[in-house]
């Protein structure tokens, strides 16, 4: 008969084994992200779109070593990315997961997978220790880039994945935003850092933006210029609402923002430290019309000691942008130093990642 003490000891041993395996899995976690990055680089999901193929066929198309390609795909198949034929070694087909990686259109969430598994993004984490030691972002500078923006300019495909990721975030969240905010109360809305303009275009199409007189998308000149190129190449879709315009401007260099009743900032402040956030808020305060509002759509990290995506984004922000994700307390500390006061904070239960902070002049 097994005593209670023996039973408890066995449970403790089993837990210890599980804990050790968990820590090893974390330690080698980079192998999964790098392997995925490699498969995406070689466009394996697309090559398997029509039918199963052998590694010999794939290696001939890609002009790579067949044996090493096999080892890559075999490893990914163990975590559900691709499926190796049970009877014939070295023959693979797409799995349910890898089928999701085939499309990377402008509004697809898959862009974020390509973004997060990009070699330079992965490499940036090798400089986390230097970032912690120095107190400044080292993820890009240690790779020879002045900033993530320089990397985006040098790697046009990565730049497209970044902006498409932002667009897909907006597409995911726009229903939630419109369910909580009626924008008809404002004559002019300026979206600061609006990228492709997806947020304003969606509001303009909604009954909750029907009576807004002007929508202004403000972003960096390189972003606005890319929007123009996309539109000229037919990537702009249907003709824009005539109320919609775009302004090329730098948050920090140019003196004033367009005057408006409402300013929106979607996943913008988390890319900056507190001082730069305050700089933006001070400029908004000079341009906002009486009784105007500012809506901050961003992460609020919570709760402690539980897995949550914003905590991981926080490391990316400090590594690559010198920014940060903030708790409610940290957001309040920033806004208390600004010309604005918090009217409401909405932790949106139906949102994947976003909360809404509503501000007005103090």
What is the model's pTM? 0.87
Catalytic residues: 270
Residue 57 pLDDT > 60:
yes
SS3 309: helix
Which residue has better confidence, 2 or 241? 241
What's residue 77's pLDDT? 97
Q: Is the pLDDT reported for residue 27 higher than 90?
A: yes
3-state secondary structure of 81: coil
pLDDT of 307: 82
3-state helix, strand, coil in the chain (%, to 5): 50, 15, 35
Average pLDDT in the chain = 91
Place of tokens 């509002």: 293
Task: Return the pLDDT at 347.
Answer: 84
Q: Which of 121-125, 221-225, 229-233 has the lowest mean pLDDT?
A: 229-233
pLDDT digits (tens, 9 = 90+) for 308-329: 888 899 999 999 999 999 999 9
pLDDT of residue 237: 45
Contact 97, 83 (CB under 8 A): no
pLDDT, tens digit (0-9, with 9 covering 90-100), for 128-138: 999 999 999 99
Q: In this structure, are residues 38 and 69 in contact, taking their beta carbons and an 8 Å threshold?
A: no
Task: Please tell me the distance from the alpha carbon of residue 327 to that of residue 70, in angstroms, as a whole number.
Answer: 45
- Distances in Å between the Cα of 87 and the Cα atoms of 68, 72, 90 are 20, 19, 10
Q: Which two tokens stand for residue 326?
A: 């903030």
Residues 6 or more apart whose Cβ sits within 8 Å of residue 231:
none
Q: Find how far residue 312's CA is from the centre of its chain.
A: 11
């Amino acid at each position: 008969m097994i005593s209670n003490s023996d039973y408890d000891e066995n449970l403790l041993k089993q837990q210890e084994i599980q804990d050790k395996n968990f820590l090893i899995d974390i330690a080698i976690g980079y192998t999964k992200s790098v392997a995925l990055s490699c498969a995406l680089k070689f466009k394996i999901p697309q090559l398997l779109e029509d039918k199963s193929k052998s590694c010999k066929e794939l290696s001939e198309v890609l002009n790579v070593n067949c044996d090493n390609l096999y080892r890559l795909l075999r490893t990914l198949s163990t975590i559900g990315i691709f499926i190796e034929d049970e009877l014939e070694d070295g023959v693979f087909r797409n799995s349910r997961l890898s089928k999701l990686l085939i499309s990377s259109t402008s509004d697809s969430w898959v862009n974020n997978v390509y973004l997060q598994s990009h070699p330079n993004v992965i490499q940036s984490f090798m400089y986390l220790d230097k970032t912690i030691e120095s107190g400044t972002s080292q993820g890009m500078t240690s790779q020879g880039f002045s900033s993530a923006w320089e990397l985006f300019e040098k790697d046009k495909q990565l730049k497209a994945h970044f902006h498409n990721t932002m667009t897909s975030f907006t597409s995911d969240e726009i229903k939630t935003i419109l369910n909580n905010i009626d924008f008809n109360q404002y004559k002019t809305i300026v979206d600061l850092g609006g990228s492709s303009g997806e947020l304003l275009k969606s509001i303009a199409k909604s009954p909750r933006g029907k009576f807004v007189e002007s929508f202004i998308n403000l972003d960096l000149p390189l972003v606005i210029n890319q929007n123009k190129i996309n539109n000229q190449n037919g990537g702009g879709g249907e003709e824009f609402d005539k109320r919609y315009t775009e302004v090329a401007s730098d948050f920090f260099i140019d003196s004033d923002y367009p005057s408006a009743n409402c300013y929106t900032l979607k996943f913008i402040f988390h890319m900056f430290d507190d001082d730069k956030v305050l700089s933006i808020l001070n400029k908004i305060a000079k341009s906002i019309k009486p009784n105007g509002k500012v809506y901050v759509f961003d992460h609020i990290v919570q709760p402690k000691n539980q897995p949550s995506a914003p905590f991981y984004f926080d490391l990316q922000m400090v590594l690559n942008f010198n920014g940060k994700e903030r708790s409610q307390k940290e957001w309040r500390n920033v806004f208390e130093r600004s010309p604005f006061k918090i009217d409401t904070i909405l932790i949106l239960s139906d949102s994947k990642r976003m909360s809404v902070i509503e501000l007005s002049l103090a």
